[in-house]
Amino acid sequence: MSEDRPSPSDAPPADPEALLAELERDTAEALAKAKADAEAEARAAQPPEEAEAAAPVVEVSAPADETPAPEVDPPVVAFRNVTKTYGDGPKAFTAIKDLTFSVPDIPGKGEFICVLGPSGCGKSTVLRLIAGLGPQHPPTIGEVLVEGRPVTGPGADRGMVFQDYTSFDHMTVEDNVAFGLACRGVGKKERLEQAHHWIDKVGLSVGHDARKYPHQLSGGMRQRVAIARTLILKPRIILMDEPFGALDPSTRMQMQDNLVALWRDLEATVFFVTHSIEEAVYLGDRVHILSSSPGTLLREIQVPPPDRPAQAMQRDPEFLEYVFDIRDTIETLEASRRAGDD
């Protein structure tokens, strides 16, 4: 897909040293992926308590001296040396650079991945690359694969919840929620039935809210509508770009609880961008930390899955341990990166 975009300045250098470096990177990636896959499998087989008992911070991106993994299902999402440069010439700006990671396909269960990083580091870029939305899509260099196939554009298999402009203002709540079904040609009666089911599931009242227009709802309620509208289509991948960013802390925690409950019966892989470390640690199975621009994946950290309501769990000292740990990790990594840059 990047081939059909002529961008000579972006072509990889042809000198042997660079090629060698690239080769080295590829091997490292394969090894890392193999380890990630193996761990994910082990994790899937484990009950959650045991996963929680693991060391607070587990790095999975370090290369390991294991033999390549056996042939398994392609990862749900894989980035292969993805670089995204906006513009060209002297004004070119590299938002993410040489990003490589993969999220394994765990049968019958999706992973909840939270993406953390400083503002402008390319979190939205990553999500929009997965969603296939321009101008982030297509990547300048590298490949974005979803279930082994390169992303060619947006689709209902990758639902997305944005932070702003979330509802279709000209439609009632029920029509908003049923929008995707209407596009699929589901009949009116059935799609409204399903919409009501989901309106209820996200914690809105069918009797009170279903016929309202978005401007009559609060920000949190509108975000619930957006979530219902995405989940009703049962997407394999759910992309959420700071969906709770504009909400007050207690609404936010309610939304987190609701999201956790919904996600449990969905078997979807979630990418959840947030600025809140607490939110990331609470919601996530894994936290991806990106560095400031150009964004690269600094570290993947495994965290305990949510097993209590947000209010209770986010007060737990053990939970806070993770939060502080990640905060320190981000600071150390950023500091060492800056030192390396100079």
Q: How far is Cα 302 from Cα 87, in angstroms, rounded to an integer?
A: 36
CA distances from 76 to 102, 107, 151 (A): 8, 10, 12
Does residue 123 belong to the site contacting other proteins (CB under 8 A)?
no
Strands 112-116 and 269-273, by their bridges, are parallel
Q: Give 238-256 as a DSSP string.
A: EEEESTTTTS-HHHHHHHH
CA gap 161, 177 in Å, rounded: 12
DSSP 3-state of 201 = helix
Residues in contact with 306: Cβ distance below 8 Å, sequence separation at least 6, in sequence order: 256, 260, 282, 283, 313
In the complex, the smallest distance separating the C-beta of residue 271 from ligand ATP, rounded to whole angstroms, is 12
Contact (CB, 8 A) for 79 and 144: yes
156 binds other proteins (CB under 8 A): yes
Q: Smallest Cα–Cα separation from 177: which of 233, 238, 218, 215?
A: 233
Whole-number minimum distance, CB 48 to other proteins, in Å? 30
The CA distance from 26 to 129, in Å, is: 21
Contact flags string 162-201 toward other proteins, x per CB under 8 A: x-xxx-xxxx-------xx-xxx-----------------
Interface pick for Mg ion out of 124, 140, 223, 296 (rule CB under 5 A): 124
Alpha helices for 60-214 (secondary structure H): 123-131, 173-177, 179-184, 188-201, 206-209
Burial class (CB in 10 A: 0-12, 13-18, 19+), 72: middle
Q: Is the Cβ–Cβ distance between 117 and 96 less than 8 Å?
A: no
Of these, 110, 117, 139, 214, which contacts other proteins (CB under 8 A)? Answer: 214
Candidate ranges 1-9, 149-157, 272-280, 305-313; the one touching other proteins (CB under 8 A): 149-157
The smaller minimum CB distance to ligand ATP, of residues 102 and 125, is found at 125
Q: Is residue 149 within the footprint of other proteins (CB under 8 A)?
A: no
Length of the chain: 342
Among Mg ion, ligand ATP, other proteins, none, residue 156 binds (CB under 5-8 Å by kind): other proteins
121 touches, from ligand ATP, Mg ion, other proteins, none (C-beta below 5 to 8 Å by class): ligand ATP
Residue ranges in 124-143 that form contacts with ligand ATP under rule CB under 6 A:
124-125, 135
Which of ligand ATP, Mg ion, other proteins, none sits in contact with 186, Cβ below 5 to 8 A by type?
A: none
Residue closer to ligand ATP, measured from CB, 274 or 314: 274
Q: Does 91 bind ligand ATP (CB under 6 A)?
A: no
**CB closer to ligand ATP out of 172 and 276:** 276
- Put residue 148 in one of left, alpha, beta given phi > 0 → left and psi -120 to 50 → alpha: left
Choose one: 120-128, 143-151, 263-271, 326-334; the region binding ligand ATP (CB under 6 A): 120-128
Site for other proteins in 227-266 (CB under 8 A): 229-230, 233, 239
Q: How far is the CB of 90 from ligand ATP (least distance, A)?
A: 14
* Residue 184 binds which entry of ligand ATP, other proteins, Mg ion, none, CB below 5-8 Å type-dependent: other proteins
Find the part of the chain contacting other proteins (CB under 8 A) among 111-119, 159-167, 192-200, 271-279. Answer: 159-167
Q: How many CB atoms lie within 10 A of CB 65?
A: 6
Applying CB under 5 A, which residues contact Mg ion?
124
**By the criterion CB under 8 A, which residues form the site for other proteins?**
131, 133, 153-156, 158-160, 162, 164-166, 168-171, 179-180, 182-184, 213-215, 226, 229-230, 233, 239
